[in-house]
Chain A
Amino acid sequence: EVELVESGGGLVTPGGSLRLSCGASGFIFSIYTMNWVRQAPGKGLEWVSSIRGSVGSGGNIYYADSARGRFTISRDNSKNSLYLQMNSLRVEDTAVYYCTRDSSGTNPGEFDTWGRGTLVTVSS
């Protein structure tokens, strides 16, 4: 069974840092583009960042403007794991962060698998 499990969320003060992790199982992790998508309380979905798999443009990384310069996405294919290092956190970064798999290498945004999410709360 294809599964994604996020961890690492929690309460952090503004300006602080947090590292999210996502463990993958049930598929060949290395070949898929992986993503972080967040949802602020009561709000819509917001794409945060993507990192391509080893096929095609392997390793290419993309960030939303809100994340660029503060967040760093990475992956360890040997551990079937995706990460999001979040620095200089702001109150507006408060959200549930979902790890997602992009099922297509040619149709970005085809997020066919989602984790249950991990809540990040930025508050003083």
Chain B
Amino acid sequence: QSVLTQPPSVSAAPRQRVTISCSGSNSNIGNYAVNWFQQVPGKVPKLLIYLDDLLPSGIPDRFSGSRSGTSASLAISGLQPEDEADYYCASWDDRLNGVAFGGGTKLTVL
């Protein structure tokens, strides 16, 4: 049971927009920034969003992030087939005294 809750799966057609939610509590998202990771099948995870809404170099601006209260969201617009991957949110958690990951969301591009 993950401290951060994500939907197991989402799907959308190419060129559409999809959002992935990450729900937490005041011990994590309510007080700490959220980072998002993308893991393409068979590959190493990659940092996608950091500090809630910032994009690392090389990440297209089709990806965006937001945080409000104890929840965060990842949005992907203009979906492309190569976006099909697992997406994870992560944040510091005071109760764990460590980094909490969400359970992951599998994105299927129909």
Interface stretch, picked from A12-20, A79-87, A109-117, is: A109-117
Closest B residue to A46 by beta carbon equals: B101
- For B44, the chain A residues whose CB sits under 8 A away are 98, 114-117
Chain A interface size, under 10 / 10 to 19 / 20 to 34 / 35 or more? 20 to 34
A47 touches B98 (CB 8 A): yes
A32 CB within 8 Å of chain B: no
B109 CB within 8 Å of chain A: no
B97 touches A107 (CB 8 A): no
A44 touches B103 (CB 8 A): yes
Instruction: State the B residues within 8 Å of A (CB).
Output: 2, 32-33, 35, 37, 39, 44-47, 50-51, 56, 86, 88, 90-92, 96-104
Instruction: State the A residues within 8 Å of B (CB).
Output: 35, 37, 44-47, 50, 62-65, 98, 103-104, 107-112, 114-117
